[in-house]
Structure 1
Amino acid sequence: MEGCMELIVRAIDVGRGNTKFITDIRNGEPQCAMFPSQAHPAEAAYEHEGWGPGRKTVSIPVDGLVYEVGPDVHLATDIFNANVLQHDRYAETPEYLALVLGALHYMQLDAIDLLIVGLPVATFKLKRHVAALERRLTGDHELAKGRRIRVKRVKAIAQPAGALMYYGLMQNRVTQLRKERSLIVDPGRRTFDWIVTQGMQQIDKRSHSVPRGMHDVLHAIVDGISRNTGAHYREYELVDTALRTGKKLIVFQKDYNLTQHLALAKKVPEQAIAEMLHYVGDAGDIKNIILVGGGAFFYKPALKAAFPNHAIQELKDSIYANVKGFQYAGIELAKSLPGTKGQLTSAAAIIAAQPGGPVNE
């Protein structure tokens, strides 16, 4: 690579609920997109037949099968295989690879110089698995419709670290953050993640994740609806939408009052934060508490109750905070790679400081 050329950097954050990724950079601003983290396996690629528009998905070949992924994947998946990424080693599954390759397909690129991906904190602590993932994603890959892409370098980091990057850059506080201790809390679909950092260095013994994410909140409510109606109710997404928007949930053609189930559902964030307190304590030594993630709206009251003496910083557009942070710091980190001319900036140092060794080539 020539030192003066602009390197292509992209970021992907495969969460248990949604796969977020960067599609483009316009006027210095990352453009984001996402689709559900569901991959429908089949023996042959989906082909639209009949009237009406085809579903918005692509078929990705992995290990002898094709996996349909994309915004309309809910039209393809069934209740038994829709959510298979619900364990700590999910990044080793073919479904995970299909989701990454699906995101790469939607980027419409032939090559990427540096790809940044995120992992839950508990998984990120398993350094052997991190290195294996970086190797797995590096190289040439077949995408949908015969397209291919070459990924030259890969770096995996803890998902909440992306939020720290994004917060520092958006608040123009990267230099200050390098001198402060921070707690980044990321309630996702399946896991409740947190990291404590001294400057840009993660403190492993105080950082972790537990499986108490929004899925558990929704399950408590769905289970209550099932008991009340005498049916096997499974509409997690409809409940999620009702919680986020305040709109009435319709069950069997009637308005359904969710408030009767909220007391139990609120125990989930309380339990997750209680576990975090074993690692974090009263946070008397922590300058910044930053809340991100798709479940931030539901977890914030319990987090504030746990840390009454702190201001909780909640990032705008928090569902994309991690992947945007990956992208910004990845762009800076790429400038310091072999064959380029540049210095490691404060933003890039956040990635470089992450345990796991140098950028994989």
Structure 2
Amino acid sequence: MEPIVRAVDVGRGNTKFISGIKNGELRCEMFPSQAHPSEVAVEAEAWGARRKTVGIPAGGLVYEVGPDVHLASDVFNANVLQHDRYCDTPEYLALLLGALHYMQVDRIDLLVVGLPVATYKLKSLVTALERRLTGEHELGKGKRVKVLRAKAIAQPAGALMHYGLMHSKVAQLRKERSLIIDPGRRTFDWLVTQGMQQIEKRSHSVPRGMHDALQAIVEGISRSTGSHYRDYDTVDAALRTGKKPIVFQAEYDLTRHLPLARKVPEQAIAEMMHYVGDASDIRNIILVGGGAFFYRAALKGAFPNHTIHELKDPIFANVKGFQQAGMELARSSAANGTSTELPLQPDASTGESDE
């Protein structure tokens, strides 16, 4: 029987996952990375449509997660995954198990998950996470799933694998040095690789993601309107679509706040350049992640002598790469009759500890 491989990328903005594979095509879904705790599972509404969420038991509480989780929100935001050890929290586990719930499988032979580069360097944390995810889990609504094996990799590594497969360049990439850049909601991650090995001392992440750019704009709106404006999602949608957001029943021009917001990607890239220099030794620069559109101009300005490669649907690039790497691992293990490693692993000669 074909081994069941699935991938999940619990980001600080959205939880992305592979919901299935049909005719060789990976089907991706996502929901906001918000987990609302309660003492008991959410009951069905007596009227109206039932919101698309599920109650996941974790850490002695029940966390409501899913596509309609915004309907469960209160005045305080439930985005709590804001530190390097976030994968050790019950909220992280609830989000990941929520993704497994929507996959509708009762067994996973190999589960591949991603972590920010800075978190991935904490090796004891990675090992603990893989052990935590292995075994049987309760998914709410009477569902359970058994995970036989779990592996974690650095988030941008998935994008490298996906890029290579989409452009039929895996063999070529194995001979070249690459820089994968992943601006997410909370973190700005980058990964330097030699072939498919990660050069850890040149790879890292900093907390200068899209949230910081959005915060600069939100604070500007608050100042100009004399209010405590906090609708980050509306501002985010406006930046992506180019349409003016509605603030106090009127269209609001964000232009005046953009110069300050654009300093965020400039600062993030300046920090990255301490690690990668002018990238003169790097053959491929690949830009992915949900914030790619906002960081593109600053990145091109920092590396004017390079072509910046981008992928379609960059927000799903990492999780697709996790899935593809996991499927390759499963095939190799089946062919060799032994357990092998994922094709994207740290360079042992430049590895770092979690101290």
TM range (shorter): over 0.9
**C-alpha displacement at 1:120, in angstroms?**
0.1
Q: CA deviation at 1:335?
A: 1.9
Q: Which residue of 1 aligns with 2:38?
A: 42
Q: Which residue of 1 aligns with 2:182?
A: 186
Contact 1:157 1:354 in 2 (8 A): no
| Residue from 136, 159, 162 that aligns with 2:158 | 162
Q: Is the 8 A contact 1:160 1:194 kept in 2?
A: yes
**How far off is 1:78 after superposition?**
2.3
* Correspondence 1:351 to 2:344: yes
- Where does residue 293 of structure 1 map in the other structure? 289
Alignment-derived partner of residue 117 in structure 1: 113
* 1:32 maps to 2:28: yes
Match of 2:265 in 1: 269
Q: Which residue of 2 aligns with 1:311?
A: 307
Partner of 1:80: 76
What amino acid is the match of 1:170? M
Equivalent residue number for residue 94 of structure 1: 90
- Change in Cα spacing, 1:228 to 1:248, as seen in structure 2 (3 Å) is same
Residue 54 of structure 1 deviates from its aligned partner by 1.4
CA distance in 2, matches of 1:79, 1:85: 18
User: Gapped runs of 5+ residues in structure 2?
Assistant: none
Which AA in structure 1 matches 2:231?
A: E
Deviations 1:87-127 (A, max 9, x none): 11110000000000000000000100000000000000000
Q: Which amino acid aligns with 1:341?
A: A
2:19–2:103 Cα contact (<8 Å) kept: yes
For 1:51 and 1:59, how far apart are their aligned partners in 2? 19
How much does 1:349 deviate?
5.3
Q: In structure 2, how many angstroms separate the alpha carbons of the residues matched to 1:57 and 1:140?
A: 21
| Map of 1:6 onto structure 2 | 2
* TM-score normalised over the length of structure 1: 0.94
TM-score (norm: length of structure 2): 0.95
- Which residue is 2:102 aligned to? 106
Which amino acid letter does the alignment assign opposite residue 335 of structure 2?
A: K
1:282: Cα distance to partner?
0.2
Q: CA–CA distance in 2 between the matches of 1:298 and 1:126?
A: 29
Q: Deviations over 1:295-341 (max 9, x none)?
A: 0000000000000000000111100000001111111101233xx22
SS of structure 1 residue aligned to 2:322: helix
Aligned match of 1:151: 147
Q: Match of 1:329, SS?
A: helix
- Are 1:213 and 2:206 an aligned pair? no
The answer for the alignment partner of 1:256 in structure 2 is 252
Deviation at 1:36, TM superposition (A): 0.2
Tell whether 2:56 aligns with 1:63.
no
* Among candidates 192, 196, 200, match of residue 200 of structure 1: 196
Q: CA deviation at 1:48?
A: 2.2
Match of 1:17 in 2: 13
Correspondence for 1:341: 335
Partner Cα separation in structure 2 for residue 319 and residue 354 of structure 1: 26
Q: After the TM superposition, which residues 217-228 of structure 1 pair with which residues of structure 2 at under 5 Å, given as runs? A: 217-228=213-224
User: Does the Cα contact within 8 Å between 2:199 and 2:347 map onto a contact in 1?
Assistant: no
Structure 1: tracts of 5 or more residues without a match: none
Q: Which amino acid aligns with 2:148?
A: K
**How far 1:146 sits from its partner (Å)?**
1.5
Residue 230 of structure 1 aligns with an amino acid whose one-letter code is G
Match of 2:305, SS state, is: coil
- Which of 231, 239, 246 is residue 243 of structure 1 equivalent to? 239
- Count of residues paired in the alignment: 347
Q: Distance in 1 between matches of 2:336 and 2:246?
A: 56
CA contact 2:7–2:319 (8 Å) conserved in 1: yes
2:230 aligned partner: 234
Q: Does residue 1:322 correspond to 2:318, yes or no?
A: yes
Q: Conserved in 2, the CA contact under 8 Å of 1:200 and 1:349?
A: no
Provide the aligned C-alpha RMSD in A: 1.5
Native 8 Å contact 1:39 1:77 kept in 2: no
Instruction: Give the Å deviation of 1:343.
Output: 8.8
Query: What secondary structure, in the 3-state scheme, does the structure 1 residue paired with 2:256 have?
Result: helix
